[in-house]
Amino acid sequence: MLDNRSAAPSWSGDADEFVRVEEVVKIFGDTVAVQSVNLSVRRHEVFALLGSSGCGKSTLLRMLAGFEEVTSGRIYLDNEDITALPPYRRPVNMMFQSYALFPHMTVEANVAFGLKQEGVPRNEIHERVFEALDLVQMAGFARRKPHQMSGGQQQRVALARSLVKRPKLLLLDEPMSALDKQIRQKTQIELAKILEQVGVTCIMVTHDQEEAMTMAHRLAVMTEGQIVQCGTPHDVYAFPNSRFVAGFIGSTNLFTGTIVVDEPDHVLIESAELTRPLYVNHGVSEPLGMEVHVSIRPENIRVLREQPEAESNWGHGMVSHVAWMGSYARYQVRLDAGQVIEANVPSLVLAQADAPGLDDEVYVAWSNDSATVLPS
Amino acid sequence: MKKILSSGLPGRRWLSIGPPFLWLALFLLLPFLLVLKISFAELKFGIPPYTPLAELKDQTVTLALSLRGYALLFTDSLYIATYLNSVKMAAVTTLCCALIGYPMAYYIARSHPSVRNLLLLGVILPFWTSLLLRVYAWVGILRNDGLLNNLLQWLGLISEPLEIYRTDLAVYIGLVYAYLPFFVLPLYATLVKLDIRLLEAAYDLGARPWRAFFSVTLPLSMPGVIAGAMLVFIPSVGEYVIPEMLGGANTLMMGRVMWTEFFNNADWPMAAAVTCVMVMMLLVPLVIFQYNQIRQLEQQRGKTQ
């Protein structure tokens, strides 16, 4: 696989870097779909581009596949500049959102199509087609036509078709969006296992944060044609770098306040919405007196009947809504200043006799390491 | 569910199918049966110019089926040659329409939606003028002292005028010109619905543009090609106006033979026999067309399930 050393890398990066997107811009008419995106994906990594519709993630994927020309910038794959290559010359295969299986061909012919274009000998085609179909457990469906199969089965065939050529890079465009919600989660795990088994480098596009977090090793959050944050699912969830990311990945409670104490190991933030200051046990780069935003995840907030003893990190309000979610209940608490904050209360706590109910006066509290200061 | 709906409301079903069915029975089937009847009659001077099939005389009904017309059709080499030539001309016309019409339909289907309607309008525009006028215009273009020859001579490309008018070539030009839209429109409708992602998938899997066209676009557009071909082939076989106005004396086409038998020779039974045989010949491609449509419908139904 690694015999293409003729094109010397014009960049120096981390040794594992396999895909590099360098200052890529895409302009359609007078709209900027992608604006100067830089991206680096490692070998064998599953990388997710996450964002809502129209954020440019699909355009970026289509540029990687070669369906759209870049307006400026370069794309490297395995040390080779593929920016100008047409799609049929790229060692890249894509699984389409709608699967795009050829309706007039059988499953076997669909999977064999790519190998035929390469001029692979007939018996080898047969062997590799069934190897790929076995991988997705669809060998028994080889003679079916696409319209004779369920959505989940079509997806497996589409996956086999995009893996059979052993691409250097696999692209997945919203892989689960055409599936029913019930089988989606199961399929996500199966797909992740297959990708691991094959060891292919993969870039996927999704608007579903759960999907990205289930399947990807790393992800990039995109909005308005730009990447706003890139990291492991845990890092992005625990340390969002902006209000947008905090709200996009999971749900969160946001407070606006000013820094009143700025120490290397902690800061205190006064917020109009809270009677007590916010204590954050990490230093920030923003100066004293600066207005900042603080994010606290609902699962880090406790709902209490008694007033906490701590000097900071709590508020007072009234339960305005309780939604039962199964393993936990989502409480909405209206603070005295008017803001409604959300707290997830585990079922165990809820089962206790004195669990707070609707319209009860309560205190909400969180620990010193729960809050994250967002620079923007 | 579907069964309950259709069997539970027989009245409504009949209401929707009834009128067109009645229309076809009255204005297509009945006249055809009359023509069929005449084709088995004997030629006679008078009004009508043919003998009745059944006669009641002395309390006996005599049914006389004359096969003179059919016998002549299948023995006279002129008629056989005319049939073969009509089919050949219609087939060549269909092929030319396919070769010219496919790129046209493809280009229109792939063009930007804002230009698309304008291009389609261009295809439909000729229908705003009568066919007769447009064929007359071709006479003016193709005549020895017509526009085309004058232009070519003025350019110095030829010294003698080209003999096109009153030849088979002129008939081909007229037929292809007149029937091209009938090929382009159904094919366009198929191509514009074609999922462009299928083509992208083919590129993605390593197919070069031409390979992708022949392995994906062409097979998936076959329903449109067949529909267009039928719409060109069937009326071309019986075409009268174009061969009459552009063709030479030896351009043999069924429409002209029919005209000659009916109006010049006043031989109604013969003209009727010519017609009936032609209808039978056209039934074959019609059945293929119908079969193709049913299969397409079934495939679509399969897709939605």
pLDDT per position as a tens digit, B52-84: 888 888 888 888 888 888 998 889 898 999 999
Extract the tokens encoding A49. 């581009």
Distance from C-alpha of A155 to C-alpha of A97, rounded to nearest angstrom:
9
H helix count then E strand count, chain B = 15, 2
Extract the tokens encoding A110. 């669909």
* Cβ–Cβ pairs < 8 A, chains A and B: 65
> Where does chain A have alpha helices with state H?
57-65, 107-118, 122-135, 151-163, 181-198, 209-215, 233-238, 243-248, 347-350
Distance from C-alpha of A253 to C-alpha of A301, rounded to nearest angstrom:
10
- Which of A88, A98, A100 is closest, CB to CB, to B206? A88
Distance from C-alpha of B204 to C-alpha of B201, rounded to nearest angstrom:
5
Q: Write down the pLDDT at residue B8.
A: 52
The residue among A132, A108, A118, A119 whose CA lies nearest residue A88 is A118
Q: List the pLDDT tens digit at each of the 376 positions of chain A.
A: 333 333 333 344 566 789 999 999 999 999 999 999 999 999 999 999 999 988 999 999 999 999 999 999 999 999 999 999 999 999 999 999 999 999 999 999 999 999 999 999 999 999 999 999 999 999 999 999 999 999 999 999 999 999 999 999 999 999 998 888 888 888 898 999 999 999 999 999 999 988 999 899 999 999 999 999 999 999 999 889 898 999 888 889 999 888 888 888 888 898 888 888 888 887 777 778 888 899 999 999 999 888 888 888 999 999 999 998 888 889 999 999 889 999 998 887 777 777 888 888 999 999 888 888 887 7
Q: Write down the pLDDT at residue A285.
A: 76
Distance spanning both ends of chain A, measured CA to CA: 43
Q: What are the tens digits of pLDDT across the range B176-228?
A: 999 999 999 999 999 999 999 999 999 999 999 999 999 999 999 998 999 99
User: CA–CA distance from A324 to each of A250, A327, A331, A346, A363 (Å)?
Assistant: 18, 8, 9, 10, 20
Q: Is A3 on the interface with B (CB under 8 A)?
A: no
Cβ contacts of B205 on chain A, cutoff 8 Å: 88, 93, 113-114, 117, 161, 165
Extract the tokens encoding A51. 């964002």
Extract the tokens encoding A64. 């990687």
- Which of A87, A88, A104 is closest, CB to CB, to B220? A104
The fold adopted by the segment(s) B69-304 is MetI-like fold (1.10.3720)
Q: Write down the pLDDT at residue A9.
A: 39
Q: Which long-range contacts (CB under 8 A, 24 or more apart) does A352-358 make?
A: A354/A305, A356/A303, A356/A304, A356/A305, A356/A319, A356/A331, A357/A319, A357/A322, A358/A319, A358/A320, A358/A321, A358/A322
List the Cα angle B216/B218/B222 in 5-degree steps: 120
Distance from C-alpha of A248 to C-alpha of A244, rounded to nearest angstrom:
6
Q: Is the peptide bond before B48 cis (omega within 30 degrees of 0)?
A: yes
- The residue written with tokens 């969002």 in the block is A240
The residue among B262, B238, B250, B257 whose CA lies nearest residue B86 is B238
Give the three-state DSSP class for B237: helix
Whole-model pTM: value is 0.82
Contact A211, A50 (CB under 8 A): no
Evaluate whether ipTM surpasses 0.90.
no
Mean pLDDT by 10 residues, chain B (305 residues): 51 83 92 92 84 84 86 89 93 97 96 94 92 93 91 90 91 96 96 94 96 95 92 92 90 88 89 90 81 76 52
Distance from C-alpha of A111 to C-alpha of A142, rounded to nearest angstrom:
9
The secondary structure of A314-335 as a DSSP string is: EEEEEEEEEEE-SSEEEEEEEE
Q: Write down the pLDDT at residue B98.
A: 97
- Chain B (186-215) residues lying within 8 Å, Cβ to Cβ, of chain A: 195, 197-198, 200-208, 211-212, 215
Q: Is A277 on the interface with B (CB under 8 A)?
A: no
- Which of A88, A118, A147 is closest, CB to CB, to B303? A147
The secondary structure of B113-137 as a DSSP string is: HHHHHHHHHHHHGGGGS-HHHHHHH
Helix (H) or strand (E) holding A172: strand A169-173
Which of A69, A102, A162 to mutate: most B Cβ within 10 Å? A102
Tallying the residues shown for chain B, one arrives at 305
- The residue written with tokens 């083919």 in the block is B202
Distance from C-alpha of B34 to C-alpha of B36, rounded to nearest angstrom:
5
Distance from C-alpha of A197 to C-alpha of A36, rounded to nearest angstrom:
34
Contact A39, A17 (CB under 8 A): no
Q: Write down the pLDDT at residue A2.
A: 36
Q: Is B219 on the interface with A (CB under 8 A)?
A: yes
Which of B193, B197, B198, B205 to mutate: most A Cβ within 10 Å? B205
Burial class of residue A100 (count of CB atoms within 10 Å of its CB; 0-12, 13-18, 19+): buried
